[in-house]
Amino acid sequence: MRQATIERKTQETRIVATVDLDGAGTYQVTTGIGFLDHMLEQLSRHSLIDITLKAEGDLHIDGHHTTEDSGIVLGQAVSAALGERKGIWRYGQALIPMDETLTRVALDASNRPYLVWKVDFSRDKLGTMDTELFKEWFQAFAQHAGLTLHVENLYGTNNHHIVESCFKGLARALREAIQIDPRKADAVPSTKGSL
């Protein structure tokens, strides 16, 4: 059962997240930030990871802590559910078109976190969410899920499409990387013997 629940309580946020890596893409997400909820729902639906996440944060200040900490908690839950990472494909990639936008995402579930973020926005906000916070979410998620993650928007003009293609790209690449390879279901995909 590749499932995990992680809870994080600080003076800034209170977040609990549950994931099922072998789910059907069902979700129940409440962060208090509408656009972030929408993106995490896309992540669940297109990765087929069931996600339940409830966050309460200091939104009277801004969305930074809630956004970053939701990435931390969700990343920790994914990492815990992966366990020793035996049998996974490990690598995943996606090329996501969304109308005029095209985004490429590639990842290695190597347990060596690193983010390459080549995404620019022409607006400061989408809904009530600061666009600079999307990189913060991806950084936190990659760090705590143990992913080497490359996200590159190749082109696009609509900021909503750009960020949504990033989340959908992550979802599809993650779906590929964490699936079990039936030929090596009992082996860690590394010549070192561990990830």
Q: Closest Cα to residue 105, out of 180, 48, 37, 172?
A: 172
Determine the pLDDT at residue 181: 94
Per the domain annotation, does 188 fall within a domain?
Answer: no
Q: Give the domain range for residue 173.
A: 3-178
β-strands 91-98, 114-118 pairing: unpaired
Q: What is the count of structural domains for the chain?
A: 1
CATH of the domain at 148: 3.30.230.40
Would you say residue 186 lies in a domain? no
5, 106 Cβ separation under 8 angstroms: no
Residue with tokens 């992550």: 170
Assign 37 a pLDDT band (cuts: 50, 70, 90): very high
Mean pLDDT, residues 80-89 taken together: 96
Report yes or no on 132 lying in a domain: yes
- Give the C-alpha separation, 112 to 108, whole Å: 8
State the pLDDT confidence band at 74, using cuts at 50, 70 and 90: very high
In-domain check, residue 189: no
